[in-house]
Structure formats: C-alpha cells, structure tokens
C-alpha cells in the first residue's frame, strides 16, 4: 500500500564512537527525522513509501533526498526551497554519562514551509496510508496548518492516518502540545504514544508500585486514549532507561473494535543507537496493520523492529522483515 | 614440535565497528581460516608452526602469506596458483541484531587444488603433529582426497593427527558431512567437536533438562565419540548464545587411555569477535598436549585460550602463553 | 529523454589514499561499472536514467542497487539472481608507481545472465536512448546474445543506440573483440572509441610524428570508423599518460551528416581518480546530443565532463551540468 | 604588544580529503574565522593575542573558545550568549573541480550581537593593536556599529588599527561594501586589500596587459588607496588561480611616510588548504610591523607566512617565526 | 580559588578501539598525567587551575601544553627544557583480555628536572591550594626534593596541600614508597589513597569477609591514616575489578575535626576508559572542599566525578559540574 | 645469495596525511630503519634476506620483528633485550612547509647493544653479502666496535661488504663521521654515498656551475672515493630538493676494475614518501650486483627502485622486480 510519510529530515552530526561534541575533530554525518526514519524502514520492508518534506536547493538538500532514495523511498514529492537544512548535533552517552543533543534547526527549509508548498491532492493520489508525528506541528503554526490540510485531504480520500505523538520538550511545552495534539488525534486512526507523554500531555496515567513495567496499567492508558480521542488503535510504548547503554522496552496495542489490548514481550536492550527506535516501532506497526497481522502479532512485530533498531547506527534503520519476524517469533535471545 | 596445519585461508571483509554490509563505505580486511588461525596461535605460543594451503599468484595471495609470516608461521610450503583467493564478508551483530556472513569462496585457489599439488613427504618431514578441520573436506571431492593423502602420509610417519570437526551448514549437508567425517575420524588421535554437531552428524547426544550447560552430559558425548571412532582424546565444546554480544562457553576433554573426562570452567563471554574462538581452543589444546600438560589442565588451558580470543579482533588471535595460563589459573575474573 | 544503460555493476575495493593492496588493512568500497557510471552521471544531469543489470539477492546486490538509486537512477528493471557480485581490487598509482587492478569478476550474476532474463519490451517502453559498452559482449557468448536482443528491440522502436567500444585486454583478445564489435557497431547511431583501440581492433590508425596529440589525425580516424560502420556520430578520445597522476586528454566528434569533425580543447589533467573518465565523456556526449547541442559544443561539453570526473573519487561521478558548462565555456583554468 | 582581534569564529565542516559534500559520510571539524585565524597565528608567534567575539553557551561554543586557547589566544573577553554558532560547509576542489562552500551562518551568536555586548574600555586596556576585517561589518548594521565603537575606543587610546578589507560577495554587494568600508578605512593605520577588490569596491585599478602579476601596477593601487583613505601602510595582495590546487601569489606594501612601495617574491603555490592564507598574511604583517621590521622585509615576511599557510590544513595556521623567516630569506624553494 | 597542580604530563599512545599494540597500524594520541588530569577537570569546573611541569622545547612539548590550555589550564608556569617527553603505550583490555601498558618515560624532561627549575614563590603567589600525587616523588630523588620544596613553600603561605598517594608498582617498591610518602603525608591537609595501597605501603588494613565492598572497614582505614599522619581529611577509594570492562567503585571520606566518616554510593561501572578515574575523584574532592560542600556530599560528588570519568575517552576528563551533581543527586541510573 | 643487513629498526610515528605533530590526534605507526628498509626490499626481490638488530622484549619489539617477517625477512638472528625501542616522529612537509622530525632514539635496545650481543660466526654462516650504513657507527663507540667485528668476520669469510655512508647531522658531526667512516670504508667492497656528504665528510667535491645535476662531476667524485678508500664500486647519489613534494634524482656508479662510470637517468620525482629512497637504491644496487647485471644497467635499476620508493608510504618499500625493470627500461613516464 502506498504510504506517505510527512515531516522534517535533518542533518545529524555525531562524534565518532564514544567521542564528545566538546572535543570532536570530526563528525559522522547521518540524515534523519522521525517520519523519514519511518519511511525508510517501510521502504525496506517492501512498502511503496513516499516522503514529503521541504529541503534547500543545495548539496546538503540533495544528499538528504539521495539518502532516502538509496533506501528505496520515493522522493519525487519533496519540495525544494528555503535557506537551510535543519541540523542537530548528537553525542552518544555511555555508562554514567548521559547523551547530549544540540538542536540547530530553527529557520530550516521545512520549518519555514507553508501550506501552499504541498499539493496534497497530487501527493496522496493512490495512497492508502498517511503518517506523521507530533514533531511536525511542534515546529510552528504554519506546520499545524500543513498537518491539518494533510489530514483533511487524507480523510476525504478515506486514507488511514497514523500519528506518533512523539512529544519533544525542546520544541514546545506540554500544555501547548497537549492542546494541539488533542485537536489532531481525533482524526488519527492509529495513535502511537509513549506512556509517560500520555500523562504529561493528556493527564492520562496509571499508578504503578515502582519503576517496573506493568503492561496492564499501560493497557489501561491505551484504552483511555482510545476512548478520549476515538482512535481505532492506540499503541503505548514503555521505556525504562537503566543506563546510557541499556534500557528496557515493551509495548501494548489497544484495539477499539474488539476492546482488547495485546502486549509485546519485554526487551532488555543493549543500546548501540538510541535514535529511531520509536520510529522503527511505528514502521513495524504500520507494516503489520497494512499486512493485516492480528493485533497480538502486530505489537510483537512492531516491538521487535524497535528492539533491532537499537543495534543499528544512524537514524534510519532499514532491516529485513524476516529478521524482525525471527525476533518476534522468539528466536531472539535478548528478551527478558 | 613442528606442527603442520592444512586448510584454506581467505580474505575477510568486515564493515568497521557495528557497521552493516548493506551500507558499508569501507571494509576492514583480515585474512583467516579455521586451520590458519590455529597455525598463528601456535606460532605465537612458540611452536614451530607450518601452514599448507594454495594461494593465487597476486597481491592478495602475497598478503595472506605475509600475514601468516608476520605472526611467525612458516609459509614456505604454501603452493601458489589458481584464479582467486576465497573471500567472505562478515558483519558483526549487536544486541538483537544477528551477525551476517556472505561467502564468496567458490572457485578459490585452495578449493580448486588437487592431491598432486601437495608433496606430503616434503611437508611432513620432521613434523610431529598434523592438524586440519572438517571445512577442508567440505570443499569438494578433490579435497577429501587431499585430506586422505595427508592423513595417510602422517600415519606412515607416526605423526599425531588432530581434527576439528567444525561442521558448516553452508558448505555441506549433515548427512554428507557425517559420512565423510566418519571416514576420517578413525585416523585422528585428537578430535575436537561442538556438542551440537555430535548430534547432527553422528546422532550422538545426551538429554539435558534445559538450555544450560551440563558438563556430565557433554562428557558422555565425548566418551561415545571416542568409543565410536577410536580417538585417543576427544574434546567437546559447549556454547550457548545469549545475544549477539554474549555467550556462555565450556569444554570437556575425554581421555581414552584413562577413561576419564576433564572439564573446564564455564565462561560468560563478552564477544568482541565471534570468529576464531574454536580455533584458539584447538591451538590451546594442541599446545597443551604437545607440552604434556595433564588433561585437567589441558582443557582449562584450551578453554582459556578460547575465552581470550573472543576479545581479539580479526580471525587470527595471537596471544602470550602467560596470559592464557593466568586466566586458566583463575586470575581471570570473567569466569562464572 | 528516458535513457537506458545496460551492463555490469561491480563492487570495487581500493586501499585508502596511496595505500597498496599488498598491505591494505582496509578497503574503501565503491560500486561501479562502465555503463552504470554513465547512468549515474546522466541521472544527476536530470535525465530519466534507467539501469539494467543482474545482481545477486544479498546485501551486496542491495547495496549496488541502492547506490545507483541514491544518485537518481531508476533501478526497477534490475534483475535479481545468481551467485555473486563481480569484484575488482584497484590500487591507485602515484608518481613512478603504476596503478594495479585485480579482477575477480568471473561467475558474477551479470556474467551468468541469459537473454531470457531481460524483457526488453518492458524495459525499453517509453525510452529514447539505449547505451552500452564493449565490456558487456566481452563477458561471454550469452552476453553477446543479450546485447543483440537489446539492440534489436531498440532498433524496432526507433530508439537511438550508443556504444562505447571500451576495449579491455583483460577480458578478450583484440581479434575477437574486433570481430564481435564489428558486428555490433553497424547498429550504433553513436560510437565512442579510444584512438588507440581503433587501431588495435579495426586497424584504423593515422601516423603521428610523435607522442603528441594531433586532432586532425584523430578526426580522420573518426571519419574512417563512420564510413566503415555507418555510425551517424563517432567520437574518438585521445589520452596520453604522463605519469600515474597526470595525463593529457582531448576528443574529436565526427558527424556523418555534415561530414565534418569538431575538436575539444586539450586538457592537462591532475588525476585524483582514473576510473570513470571515459564514462563521464559518454554521459556528457549523450546529454549533449539529447539536448541538441551543436556538435562543436557537444564535444567540448563531453570532454569537460571527462576532465571534471578525473577529480572525483569513486567510479560514479555525479556532477552538475552548470559546472561542466563553466569548464567547457573556458572558465576552467586547467585547459592547456 | 597586546593585540586584539575582533570578529566571528565559525564551525567549519569539510569532507575528508577530496570528498564531496554531496556524498560525505563524515565531516572534519575545524573552527575558524578571518580574524580568529589572525589571532592564532599571532599567538604562536609569541604575541600576546586576545580574541573578542560572541559564542553560544553550549559545547560548540566551548570548543571554539578551547581551540583558540589551545594555540595560546586569550579568550577571557569572549562574550557568551545567543542561539547558535555560525557554520560553513567547505569542500576542497581538485584539478578541474572548483571548491564549494555552503554558508549557514545567519542568526549566529556573533551576528546577533549588539554594541553593548562589548566593553571596549576593558578589552583594550593595555593593548597596542586592534585588528578586524571587512567581514565583520558585512554581518549587519549592528556590527557596523560595533566596529565603529571599537575603532573609536582604539583611536582614543592611540592604539594602532589594522583592517583587512576581505570583501565577500556572499555577504554584501560591492556597492554597500564600498560605502561602508570607505567610512571605516580612514581610521585604519594599516589596510590590507586584495587587488581585485580595490577595483570592485573603490574603482581603484590599474591596467595590466594580461593575467600575469605586475607588481608596479599593484604598487600604484596601494598608493592610490593610501591617498584616498589616508592609511599609513597599505598592503595589496595579488592572487592568480591556476587550478583548484595551484595559484600564484605576491604582495606589495606601500608606506605613506616614505612614499615608497616594497614587493614580495612571487610564489607558485601548491594548495593543500585555500582558507586562511590572507589571514596569515595579515598576521605576518602585524608581527612584522610590531617588530619594526623594515618595509622591504615586512612584506616578504607576510608573504612567506601566507605561502606556508597554504600547506597547513584547517583555518588556523600556527607556524614558527623561524620557518617564516627561512622562507622569506630564500631557503624556501617554491618561489618562482 | 587558584589551585596549583604539579607533576608530569606524558604522551599516551593507544591503538584505536579494541586494537592491540602488537599489531597497531596507528595510535591515538592523548596527553595526560595524574596531576595534569586533576588540573583539567578543575579548570572545566571553573576553578582557576595552574599546572606546573617541565616539557621539552619541541612540538610534542608544545602540544602537551596546548592541550592543557585548551581545557582552560594556566600553562604559564610550565618550565621548558630537557630531552624528551615521557611516553606510554596503553592498550585497552576487553572481556577476558587484560589491559597492557608499556612505559617509556625514563629520562623525560620532567623526570630530569631539578629543584632550581621551579620558582615556588612566583608559582604559588595568590594560590590557595596545592595538589600533587605520589607518582612525582617516585620519579627520583630530585623529584622528592622538588616535592618537599613545593610543600614547604605552600605551608609557609598557609596554602592547603592535597596529596593522592597513587602508588605505582612500576616506579618504585612498596617499602621505598611507604617510607617516602610517610615523610610527605604529615604535610598534607587532604590525603587520597586507594584502600589496597594503605595496606601495602603503611600496613593499614581491615579484615573483610570476602571480595565485597565494606565501607565500614574502609572508614576505619581512613581514620587510621588520619591518626597516623595527622591529615585533616582522608579519602579512601575502593575498587573491585570484575572484568576488563567492568568494576565496582566507592569511597569514604574521614574528617578529623568531627571524627566522622562519610560514604559514597557504590557504583557498578562500565569502563570505556580506565585511566583518570582516580584523578577525577581528586578533582571532585578538591572542588567540593573548596566549595565548602558538607563532607557527606563532598564524597558523593567526588565519587560521581570518578564514575563519569570512566565513560570519557582519554586521560583528561573535563565534565560539567551540573552533570556530576545530577549523578551524585541520584539521577544517575548506574548506581547499584 | 644470503644477504645480512645490520642496524637499528625504530618505531616511526607520523600524523596522517598532511597533518602536523603539533596538533596530531593520532599517529600512523611504521617500523623502519636504513638497513631494515634495505632488508625488506631485498626480501621482496626474492633474496634470502636476514636482519640483525636488538629489540626490547615487549609488544613493540615483537611488532618490529613481525613487520620484517611479514615481508619475508629472516628475523631469527634478532637479539632481544634492552629497555626500549627507538622512536622517531616524522611530519611530512608540503609545498612551502618543510618536513619535521623529532628523534627519540637515545637509550634504545640497539644503541645500548654491545659486541658480545652478536655472534657473527653464526649469523654470517652461509652468507654472501653484508650490508650496513653509517647510521650504525654513529650511535656510539660500542656500535663502532660492533661494526668492526661484523666487517672483520665478513672479511674472514670472503663475504662482500657494502656500506651506505648515510651521514646524519643529528647523530654526529661531520668531522667525527669523516674520521670513523674513513676507517670503515677501506673494508667495503661497495660504497654508496650522497654527493653532498662526500664533500662534507671527506672534502671530495667537484665544482658545478649551478644547482643542476652534472653527472660528469659526480662521476669524478665517485672515482676519487674509490681511489681514496679502495672500494671496488662506488655509487654516488645526487638529489636536488625542489619543494617539500618534489625533487630531482640521479646516480652514478663507478667501477674500479674497469675504471669507468655509469649514469642513471635523471628522475623528476613527486614525493609521496621521502623516507627510504636511498635505502631502496642500496637494495636495488645489491640486487643488481648479486644478479651480475652490467654496471650500466645496475645503476639504472637501483635508481628506478629509488624512484618508485618515493611513491610508497612507510619506511619499507617492497616492490616487484618486474616493476623496477619496467621503469629502468624506460616504460616509466616520469623520467625527465
């Protein structure tokens, strides 16, 4: 199914290995962005994946588009113009040292883009799915409008809409985010959200006795979100950071139609790469739902994609469906 | 004691660090092969180590021979000729992501070699030990013949023969392998085999209640192999993969003369390098037996060599005897 | 104009910088091949460029296709199958040290491909140009057949055919090459050939008083080729190697219709990369002719593309049309 | 003599070696800026060198200040604040391929700085020299004001002022630049300008018969500038680009007091690094004048510093005085 | 408070990543030394930090001083002279493979320095704290004298003196070290010592039932040291090596005035870098005491600095105070 | 012919590419030394090449021996012992920037070695040629004695002795060198010397009108040396440095028996590596004389080996005889 992802793509600059920004003599260059990462994983799964963004007319813009294309993403609907590509500097943490990020994305070609830059009739022609994340409306009022026109065009065509809430403190406050996303989620057929953000943005949280993972409680959060916003499917992801290199991860998927929730295994992850795990989860979920996998397996598949992504350097995380299935089916040994 | 190892040596190409073949911009180059790795470890232990193989007459062949020589291996009996060096691409796994290998070894100078390429009278002159692995006969009927003429020449001279069964699914089926190896092992004084392969190739296995390591059961496997093929010493190695970066390892050594088995410690290994661990075990065992270490210590020494090899990048694994002894003696802290 | 290029694409492994194969600890990895290089340069010029080849179903095959796609080449007609990707090792020369190449391409997925692997009706649908080089028929009788069916399908559709003779001593003898190419060139509308090869393959050469560049003589060679094979346009390239890092280059273009020849400037080139220069010339010429540039400018444009390619690392040589024009127009300072 | 340099310092990102921005997998990181480069060269010559700029309060700002400090520059007067550090991407050219630059410096901490950010009384306390370039006023009206208050404070204290006109097309038009610089140069005791810019900005140029270097004509340009703006010393630099890797360079120094001009040797330069040559010239000139070298030697010394800088990677170009003297004295072999 | 650190600074050469000295094709270069590391961490915490050492007059000496300056250390009191910089080769261990060090420091500029090289009146002018480690007197009788004159000058000025016992088997025997340090510690206001060294050098040890960490016993060791040498504060650090990559760490701080001991948390450390942890502890402690943190927090702060340093490559370990506080306050997740 | 080379082998540390020692973050590691370089080139030419030196018993000593062995040199006569391996830091120059070297070789295992460390009877058993350079006696009186005992043992056995005068200002003065070498050269059958050193050490020089290469004058220098010291063959090398990257090179060979001199071509060299050129010349000459090439070809062959070495990174310079012949025969294009 032709699947359209929409959002920013940035140049990421990271010191090699365990190096630090403060003393870097070189930076490894990656291109990535929440929705772009989803588009790449989908394309590598064999989905006809289209990315929509706005990039400047220079070599960095060319490179960003080229990297997407390399992984099979259709870049013909990328708009060119604007002054600069958004940049972020990311330093991997280790042990007791936390990761660091410096965003330098203000004024990017995408952040400056306007509703009239995107011809949704043309873009969505023949599409079956539209995906974006909460980072896009966080970039400004112009992008809230763009999101709304995209959703509206999708709804007109009966296209399934998925939204990863993906709240980013660095971009907007929880109040503003909660208000804007509450206006958007009612149009989303599928909603993905981090358990903690459900509390922060919408006040939806469940008590847990300690810092463990309680899938029942998370399932109730998913159900509450589905009831509040009417989304047909709500996936809640749960992450506990154990150190800069280790975390624990699981997810639940609530299905409004059946009123039931499905849970993934709980993964203990060694983190080679922290970025893009949530995006791989979204891609896994979209693939699973487009492939009509049953809910129980869909959440396992999405969680396995997320687990594997933690071992792949870079924002993108192309991986074969067969490897995801193998892990979801239990061949993987890192499950708890 | 002059020790002759015999087999292929290939060019290995691996993406640096955690990189992936699918997006590699460069490959680290190593030379290695099961028996070549044994020859290198032996040479660095001070053994007069000779390697026999066939390499093409080009810079890659020169480099393979040069790398062996660098570590002290005698390369004067390497035959030159043929079209190409065997190549394999190897991608290190990490966490939930499994390692990947692409073999491109068909038609290699060694795989195309014929019995008449090797003058065993000259090669084995003055030697006390001959070692090879099951990978060599797996390369074709011509190499089964080569193995047989090597063994026969060794037996004529009273040279000790060791064979690492080293079954590789990518090269031949378990039936064929079982049949060929069953014809070879009766001539081996020392046999090394992975516990799982004893079951696959020869149907020799013991029940275990779970996926743990049960040294008693493994000892019974070793004993059964000794009985079936008449080998004086049979070492069985046991490996449990915990993740792409972690495994558990132990070994037992059965001694036919005394009818008793010796067990190594059980190691929990952090894996920097997966390749060459079994070869380091063989080298450790050969060194131990050539040095007349008692069986109890010999298996500890071989297992310690194997453990240390997991922390050394590349196929080869030169390491000082003193370090192996220190770990075998318990100074090492990674034992369980 | 949709332009179809057809040929092999190989993995090239080169020691970094001035390193040598005989002591390389790593190899930089590039993908390339004569016709693939043309396809990439064309795609970056804005031409709808399609590449047709056969690649194995593994990560190396994926990477080769991905790299083409990255630069905008349409890879949907690439056939997947076969055992291996062709590989070549290439060591850059320097000063008095000549470059070295080790081919390891026998048995590649492409070399093993058969006429029935390619559905020319589908591939050429909507195309206006077909390009290939003499390397393709050099790979075997099966590929001579493939070439012929491609040409025949093209001719049926009125598609322009260009052929770069690109004679390679390592692949076939001059006699065989001359015979086969003499059977193919009559179907080529545009022929590109190195001056020296015109002599070797077809006995067409002109006396020159010394090792200088004599464009008049080269023009007569072009004319003779046009007369012999009936090609509408014949481009002859002239290269004099001054050292491993320096060469002199020029080209002439003979136009059968007007019976006149056009000459490029003579370039003194500092060589950062020796590979792909002739392919950039072909791409420049195809672009020029598709754009209906006059012959005088077409040969300047193609020669400028060739000159710039010598400063771009890797087989591919994507470069903006504006930069080529600037050099062709004389802004470049490296002309003689 | 305490020497204060004032201007921006940026993060420069360059693909390694001959790599291109469009396909870079990593960028080498340098910090630099016209006046910062001068400050570093001066500090390494033993001058008490102070740098004044504004940097953001993050790791990139820390790194920029740290790099200056590393080379001995006093960074205690650097103001911290603002949103981002200016960035530029720079790709080295080669042969027929021109260098490329992408500026991403809008909105930098320095470009946003205001006159009240700098306490010139404190900064200039004890100083004997103030240096800046025309890049600083090019950044906006606020920085024109900052320049003027710096000059005014310097003049009040009898501090020598030097200004490198350093016209940059990417920042402002020649008309605006000419107008602003014409208002600043009358306060400069020492003016450095590229011959070509003297024509572009102030219409001061001399006929030359061809593209050669005519030091007499250049001397007349210097004299005319001195007369127009009243500068005590005017240095005119002359550069002819031969290819991306080669240029020819010379300079003249006009001394108003004596009414005479001194000329440097003409250098044929192999370019390892194009950036910072003019800044090394300025530093050499400041050092020479602070050391009371005679004019004839001062211009030789400054030109030699410039020549050596072309062989040092990175924006900064620390080099020992003894090496500069050796080249100026003729030991250098690259003079024409 | 102006804090003076005094000792050697060496060039460290380490194979990249998990590489080994025996096959290194390149070495990463760091500069470091016990007291230099302290000086860098202090400077980055905002302390006015001065380093005193002796370095040769060559590029390596310049680089060592430059690296200190880069991180904000005042290098104006570094003496220049002597023949060479001390060098050490360090190979990171992994898993079962122990780290390796080759010292090549004999005859270094610092080791050859004499009391008259250092003008303590000038150096200590305005200082409030003097720090050095037991490595300095271990370098020879001349350096014992230098230490004594430094201490004596400090005591005359009422400057606080801290000493990290830092016993190194490779430099001197425990008897000699015990004797010399027993003559120095009575002048130290603050003493830092590894628990094991207290036993080896001074016979001060407490029974522990096993290889665990017993903070009570360690506190008694600290108290005994305070009683024996009269130091106002004694910090005892406790380290248990679990593997080449993992250790457990804690510390106690005994305060003579109150007669009470404070304990840090126990950290389980993943080791990216083994070197400089103890130095970061000293810097943390000095900062804490200069900032008048209560003892309970001072030891937590120092231990957190030590923990974070284990994740920073290189000898130096600049880190922001805020990050240390966050870990000391419990935000860190790697505490046991 | 078994050929014994005798001298030091050091660890060389060079910043990568055009980097500088003063800011190096890593050093490329090479092992080399004048006579070791000769041994390696000879071994790769197929000569049975033996190296004699003294190396410390540590990983660096192992690596030095291993690198020799890698290229086929017999290392069984290397003595192990002493404190350290000699080290030198070498920075490649570029354009106007001169190369830099920092020697740190005092107290090396070899420099501290004594006559009794070497058993020349055993070492020279079966040998036909002994080679060393003037660097060895420059290391101290002990090494003058070692040289003398080696020469004496060689003379007793009728072994040909060659000596490369190889004067190094950094090691000893011209007077001392002249005196010592004048005592050694009478025992040398073959002497190689740089034209300039003949003047400096022995006052043997010829007038030349300018800085050009005058082979007649150089031939008279060779003849005078032959007459003064009685050497059967004297090779004089002539080098003119044009820039840090370019030099001109030629050589003459005087044959005492025939009283005639032979001259090589004059090479204009692009310098990738400055080190080891003279050593490659020596190796070429030894090979040529051992192979009984006529004098006219011998000097061409040796000069061609020297020319090619300038394009090979590292001290060693293994190269195939066929490539040297091709250049000597004129296929090379870099001759003048």
pLDDT tens-digit map of E118-142: 999 999 999 999 999 999 999 999 9
Chain F closest-CA separation from residue C287 CA (Å):
35
- Residue C269 distance to chain D (closest CA, Å): 7
Residue F165 has pLDDT above 90, yes or no: yes
- Could you tell me the CA-to-CA distances from A13 to A101, A106, B186, D29 in Å, in that order? 10, 16, 60, 10
- Burial, F212: exposed, middle or buried (Cβ in 10 Å; 0-12, 13-18, 19+)? exposed
DSSP A241: E
Contacts with A19 (C-beta within 8 Å, 6 or more apart), sequence order: A91, E313
- What average pLDDT does the segment D263-267 reach? 96
Chain A residues touching B97 at Cβ < 8 A: 308, 311-312, 319, 323
B208 — pLDDT class (breaks 50, 70, 90): confident
**Interacting residues of C45 by C-beta distance below 8 A, sequence separation 6+:** C283, C287, C321
Residues belonging to chain D with any Cβ–Cβ distance to chain C shorter than 8 Å:
17-20, 22-23, 93-98, 241-245
Low-confidence ranges of chain C (pLDDT < 70): 331-336
* Phi, psi (deg, nearest 5) at residue E204: -95, 105
Chain-chain contact of C333 with D241 (C-beta, under 8 angstroms): yes
- Look at residue E330 in the predicted model and tell me its pLDDT: 83
Which of D272, D284, D305, D327 best tests the F interface by mutation, with the highest count of F CBs <10 A? D272
Residue A46 has pLDDT above 60, yes or no: yes
- Based on its alpha-carbon atoms, the radius of gyration of chain C, rounded to whole angstroms, reads 19
Closest in E272, E318, E326 to A18, CB measured: E272
Asked whether the predicted pLDDT for residue F84 surpasses 70, the reply is yes
Q: Residues of F with CB below 8 A from E58's CB?
A: 102
What's the rounded Cα separation, in Å, for the pair C77 and C86?
19
Angle in degrees, CA A41, A46, A47, rounded to 5: 75
Whether A318 contacts A71, CB under 8 Å: yes
* Residue burial A303-331, b: 16+ Cβ < 10 Å; e: rest: bbbbbbbbbbbbbbbbbbeebbebbbeee
Rounded mean pLDDT, D293-315: 97
Asked if the model's pLDDT at residue B118 lies above 60, the reply is: yes
Question: Which helix (H) or strand (E) element contains residue A210?
Answer: none
Mean pLDDT, range D81-106, rounded to an integer: 96
pLDDT in the model for residue A207: 85
Which chains, if any, share at least 3 CB pairs under 8 A with chain A? B, C, D, E
Share the mean pLDDT of chain F: 95
Q: Give the model's pLDDT for residue E334.
A: 38
Mean pLDDT (chain D) is 95
* Span A69-123, pLDDT tens digits: 999 999 999 999 999 999 999 999 999 999 999 999 999 999 999 999 999 999 9
User: Which positions in chain B have a beta carbon within 8 angstroms of at least one beta carbon in chain E?
Assistant: 17, 267, 269-272, 304, 307-308, 310-313, 318-319, 323, 326-327, 332-334
User: A171-230: per-residue pLDDT in tens?
Assistant: 999 999 999 999 999 999 999 999 999 999 999 999 888 888 999 999 999 999 999 999
Tell me the pLDDT tens digit for each residue of D5-36: 999 999 999 999 999 999 999 999 999 999 99
Q: What pLDDT score was predicted for residue D333?
A: 41
> DSSP string of C209-243?
SSSS--HHHHHHHHHHHHHHH--SEEEEEEEEEEE
Which residue of F17, F19, F242 is in closest CB contact with D333?
F242
Q: Report chain F residues whose CB lies below 8 A from the CB of B70.
A: 66-67, 69-70
Cβ of F242 and D270 within 8 Å? no
Domain boundaries, chain B: 2-335
Given its phi and psi angles, is residue B210 left (phi above 0), alpha (psi -120 to 50 degrees) or beta? beta
Instruction: Test E29 with F28 for CB contact under 8 angstroms.
Output: no
- Residue D308 confidence (pLDDT): 97
pLDDT at position A76, please? 97
Determine the pLDDT at residue B330.
Answer: 83
Question: Distance between CA A58 and CA F29 in Å, rounded?
Answer: 39
Q: Please report which confidence band the pLDDT of residue E214 belongs to, taking 50, 70 and 90 as the band edges.
A: very high
Q: Tell me if C164 sits within 8 A of C194, measured CB to CB.
A: no
Residue A59 to residue D102, Cβ atoms within 8 A: yes
Give the CATH number of domain E2-335. 3.40.1190.20
> Per the CB < 8 Å rule, is F70 touching B72?
no
- DSSP summary character for residue B232: S
Distances (CA, A) of C130 to A297, E216, F227: 48, 84, 74
Least confident among A298-302, C128-132, F207-211: F207-211
ipTM here: 0.94
Task: Flag if A13 and D24 touch (Cβ within 8 Å).
Answer: no
Task: Give me the pLDDT at residue B71, please.
Answer: 98
Which residues of chain A have a Cβ shorter than 8 Å from any chain C Cβ? 66-67, 69-72
Asked if residues E60 and F89 have their Cβ atoms less than 8 Å apart, the reply is yes
- Please give the radius of gyration of chain F, using alpha carbons only, rounded to the nearest integer: 19
**How confident is the model at residue E331, as a pLDDT?**
53
User: Could E310 and A96 be called an inter-chain contact, meaning their C-beta atoms sit closer than 8 Å?
Assistant: yes
F165: Cα separation from own chain's centroid: 8
Tell me the two tokens of residue F298: 């011998």
Confidence label for A334 from pLDDT (cuts 50, 70 and 90): very low
In this predicted structure, what is the pLDDT of residue C207? 85
- Asked whether residue D334 carries a pLDDT value surpassing 90, the answer given is no
DSSP-derived 3-state class of residue B132: strand
Give φ, ψ of E56 to 5 degrees: -70, 155
- Considering only B143-157, D126-140, E198-212, which range has the smallest mean pLDDT? E198-212
Distance of alpha carbon F66 from the chain centroid: 20
For residue A88, with 0-12 CB atoms within 10 Å meaning exposed, 13-18 middle and 19 or more buried, which class applies? buried
Q: What pLDDT, on the 0 to 100 scale, is given for residue C332?
A: 42
Q: Are E32 and E276 in contact (CB under 8 A)?
A: yes
Quote the minimal CA–CA distance from D321 to chain E in Å: 14
F252, pLDDT greater than 90: yes
pLDDT at position E10 is: 98
Mean pLDDT calculated for residue range F199-207:
94
The distance in angstroms from the start CA to the end CA of chain D is 34
CB-CB under 8 Å, E29 with F26: yes
φ, ψ of residue D213 to 5 degrees: the values are -105, 120
Query: pTM of the entire structure?
Result: 0.96
CB contact under 8 A, B318 and E98: no
Average the pLDDT over D271-278 and give the result. 95
Q: How many interface pairs between E and F have CB atoms less than 8 angstroms apart?
A: 69
E17 to chain A: which residues are within 8 Å by CB? 17
Phi, psi dihedrals of residue C301, rounded to the nearest 5°:
-65, -45
3-state secondary structure of E174: helix
């Amino acid at each position: 199914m032709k699947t359209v992802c929409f959002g920013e793509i940035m140049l990421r600059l990271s010191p090699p290995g365990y190096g630090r920004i403060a003393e870097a003599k070189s930076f490894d260059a990656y291109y990535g962005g929440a929705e772009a990462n989803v588009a790449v994983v989908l394309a590598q799964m064999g989905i006809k994946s289209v990315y929509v963004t706005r990039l400047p007319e220079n070599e960095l813009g060319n490179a960003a588009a080229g990297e997407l294309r390399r992984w099979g993403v259709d870049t013909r609907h990328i708009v060119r113009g604007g002054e600069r590509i958004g940049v972020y500097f990311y330093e991997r943490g280790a042990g007791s040292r936390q990761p660091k990020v410096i965003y330098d994305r203000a004024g990017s070609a995408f952040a400056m883009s306007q509703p009239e830059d995107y011809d949704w009739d043309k873009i969505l022609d023949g599409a079956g799915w539209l995906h974006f994340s909460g980072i896009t409306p966080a970039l400004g009022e112009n992008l809230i409008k763009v999101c709304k026109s995209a959703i509206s065009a999708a709804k007109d065509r009966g296209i399934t809409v998925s939204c990863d809430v993906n709240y980013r403190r660095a971009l907007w406050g929880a109040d503003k985010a909660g208000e804007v996303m509450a206006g958007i989620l009612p149009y989303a057929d599928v909603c993905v959200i981090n358990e903690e953000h459900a509390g922060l943005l919408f006040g939806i949280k469940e008590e847990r006795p300690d810092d463990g993972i309680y899938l029942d409680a998370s399932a109730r959060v998913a159900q509450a979100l589905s009831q509040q916003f009417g989304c047909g499917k709500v996936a809640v992801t749960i992450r506990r950071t154990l150190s800069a290199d280790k975390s624990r991860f699981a997810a639940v998927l609530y299905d409004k139609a059946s009123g039931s929730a499905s849970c993934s295994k709980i993964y203990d992850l060694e983190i080679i790469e922290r970025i893009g795990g949530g995006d791989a989860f979204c891609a896994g979920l979209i693939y699973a739902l487009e492939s009509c996998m049953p809910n129980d397996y869909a959440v396992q598949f999405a969680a396995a994609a997320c687990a594997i992504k933690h071992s792949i350097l870079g924002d993108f995380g192309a991986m074969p469906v067969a490897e995801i299935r193998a892990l979801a089916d239990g061949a993987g040994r890192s499950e708890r």
